[in-house]
Amino acid sequence: MTNPQILSYLFLSPVLALLLWILVPVKKTWISVVPTLISLSFLVFLILQNPEPMTLSPGSFLSIPGNVDFTTGFLLNPIRLSLSLLAVFFTLLIQIYSLGYLKKDDPSGLFHFLMSVFQAAMIWLFLANNLFTLFLGWEMVGLCSYLLVQFWYEKPDVLRSGIRVMMINKFGDVFLLSGIGLLVSFGLHNVVLNEVNFPPGSEVFLASPTGQVLCLFLVIAAFVKSAQFPFSLWLKEAMSGPTSVSALLHSATMVVAGVWVLTYLSPVFPEPVMWILVVIGGITLLLSNLAAVFSQHLKTTLAFSTLAQLGVMVVSIGISQTDQTLLHVGSHAFYKAALFLFCGILMHDAERKGLKGMDSQYIPNLGSAFAKHPVYRWAFVLCCAALAGWPLTSGFISKENLMPDPWTETLKPLEWLAYGILQIGNGLTAFYSMRLAFYIGFGKRDSGSALHISPSMGIPVLILSLGAGFWLFGPNPMASTGWLTDYWGTRGKWLHSDVVMVMVGSIFAWLMTWKKDWKVLMIRPFWQRFLLGFSLTEWLGVRIWNSGLQLARLNVKAEDIILEKPLIAGSKIVVVAGYFTTFFDRFFVDGTVISLSQLAKGTGGFLWDHTRRYPQYVVWFAITVLLILIYFSYY
């Protein structure tokens, strides 16, 4: 098992998927998922047969004179293999789900080919052992995400969204490539070419102003990929693709790439950079949660909740809790992917009733869709509770595991800031997630037929929902110790049940939906009934609520000002430049070439006509040219 060619088996699925796509009329049969199933089987075999870390270097990718040799290096250890297995497992379930969801939209199997390439790129990214190898996987992940987002490319809006996703991600790629170049230029080429192992003394350089700028380049690249403020626009644009694509990008794959790079490099980041992580992650967490509170569309709410959880991960990395962050990545992936797939089921049912576009995901139109499906209802409620962080769920374990403990530890100012941000974020997350659970899970069913769920769509959702329970990590619901931390070789801990903010948010969610009505702006009757109509209390409540609403709207407008309008202006500049280059090419380049060709044609015709009449001129011309050549060859 030490042969470097062992890695080739992990990347055979795209080749097999390409052959199936070209040679076999797949047409939505189960054979479409065979390539991904092969990758999953081999990863499981590799985990069982290779518990010890192993470094592989298949060979040189590019050699440049001057001892610069770009090699592709990979490190196989329990954490990297677990994340790779998670990405492939999710890809397989989403492909199975898409057999029913995209039954009419993918007759040739193109979607499954793109999914196979995507999961291979994620494996490459997670196993990469140097920044050059990571950059190759990073680029392939970005390309696949663009192709998946604009899968319905016949729609102009989808095509525009796909281009925006690509442009914003290319902005981050520039910073990553610049950071890699700076590392090489300052002598830290081992990190780029061989393995991410900073030599002793490099922390002194990285703490200098020049080193902090270098780190900032890498951090900005990770912020763009993980959709941190103000780069979160691309993740909302990615929702224009199929819901199964949203489930893939928002769970354990695309958005995790930036978080993975931060956990990869954060041990050497100086303290000012860690402050940047906590502050930007906190802004992303709070603003995205506010936007989710006031959102009235299910898919949009889930997208904002993904942004908020990415903010949680970045904040926890900022206080040097990388292992705890990766634990939260694993738990969040299960219930968030399940919620997005539930969203696809609800949207299908709404479209079957005649609702189109945004109306098919408008929450008041969804009612209590699972009233006649108790298994799916409780699965949906379990996923919402895990997102909120309620005890007995995996979300509770992973969130409490990364939360600083002010009761038993002496916290630094940065940790106190992170603690306050995470507590407020937990309350807001519990509010909108439990409001979804109460409204969609326990409301009265409107008149109409029962929700139709095909087995290919229902089975993956139930499997993912099982991962929302505490048993995902181990048998103890009050500790992060279990089979996963034992396999990773990391130390778990007993959890302090700090769920006050979760309870407060959940109570407010119940009060807002106690009549099974979706209340968003009707706050005045709410305060009059439950706070005894005190004018001062009502006045404060209304002001706080409206201030939050305005702040959420400001968040969206700020992103539009910072990213969307410059993108539109840039696209207009590109169009104008295209017209200018077309004009220049047509009238100057083509005109010059045509004029020279006409001149050459006329000169040739003139010479040919005269050489036929006076052949001696040809002899004298040849002798003259020969003498000129002899002269310049000697002198």
**Which residue has tokens 């919402």?**
384
The pLDDT of 22-47, averaged and rounded, is 75
Q: Where are the beta strands (DSSP E) in 67-181?
A: 68-76
Res. 534 pLDDT band, cuts 50 70 90: very low
State how far the Cα of 439 lies from the Cα of 370, in Å rounded to an integer. 11
The pLDDT of 420-445, averaged and rounded, is 84
State how far the Cα of 277 lies from the Cα of 56, in Å rounded to an integer. 32
| pLDDT at residue 287 is higher than 80 | yes
Structure confidence at residue 583 (pLDDT): 61
DSSP characters over 9-43? GGG-HHHHHHHHHHHS--SS-GGGGHHHHHHHHHH
The pLDDT of 453-472, averaged and rounded, is 86
Q: What average pLDDT is seen over the chain?
A: 77
State how far the Cα of 629 lies from the Cα of 531, in Å rounded to an integer. 103
Name residues whose C-beta falls within 8 Å of residue 538's C-beta, 6 or more positions apart in sequence.
524, 527, 528, 531
Task: Report whether 370 contacts 451 (CB < 8 A).
Answer: yes
Structure confidence at residue 278 (pLDDT): 92
The secondary structure of 417-435, three-state, reads HHHHHHHHHHHHHHHHHHH
Res. 406 pLDDT band, cuts 50 70 90: confident
DSSP characters over 393-461? BHHHHHHHHHS--TTTS---HHHHHHHHHHHHHHHHHHHHHHHHHHHHHHSPPPSSPPPP--HHHHHHH
227 or 68, higher pLDDT: 227
pLDDT in tens, 488-515: 877 778 887 788 888 888 888 887 776 6
pLDDT in tens, 163-182: 777 888 888 888 888 888 88
pTM of the entire predicted model: 0.80
State how far the Cα of 350 lies from the Cα of 359, in Å rounded to an integer. 8
Residues of the chain above pLDDT 90, percent: 4
Q: Alpha carbon 486 to chain centroid distance?
A: 28
Q: Are strands 68-76 and 54-64 parallel, antiparallel or unpaired?
A: antiparallel
Task: Report whether 372 contacts 454 (CB < 8 A).
Answer: no
Structure confidence at residue 443 (pLDDT): 67
Q: Which of 81-95, 130-144, 154-168, 491-505 has the lowest mean pLDDT?
A: 154-168
Task: Report whether 92 contacts 36 (CB < 8 A).
Answer: yes
Rg from Cα positions in the chain: 29
Structure confidence at residue 185 (pLDDT): 82
> What SS3 class is residue 207?
coil
DSSP characters over 148-195? HHTTTTTSHHHHHHHHHHHHHHHHHHHHHHHHHHHHHHTT-HHHHHT-
Structure confidence at residue 632 (pLDDT): 64
The pLDDT of 463-472, averaged and rounded, is 88
State how far the Cα of 31 lies from the Cα of 28, in Å rounded to an integer. 8
Helix residue ranges, H only, 522-615 = 523-530, 535-559, 565-584, 590-613
CA distances from 401 to 132, 254, 384, 448 (A): 33, 24, 19, 44
The pLDDT of 344-369, averaged and rounded, is 76
Q: What share of the chain is helix, strand, coil (3-state, %, to 5)?
A: 75, 5, 25
**Which residue has tokens 């002496």?**
410
Among 144, 217, 152, smallest CA distance to 178 is for 217
Overall size of the chain counted in residues? 635
438: which 2 tokens? 């109460």
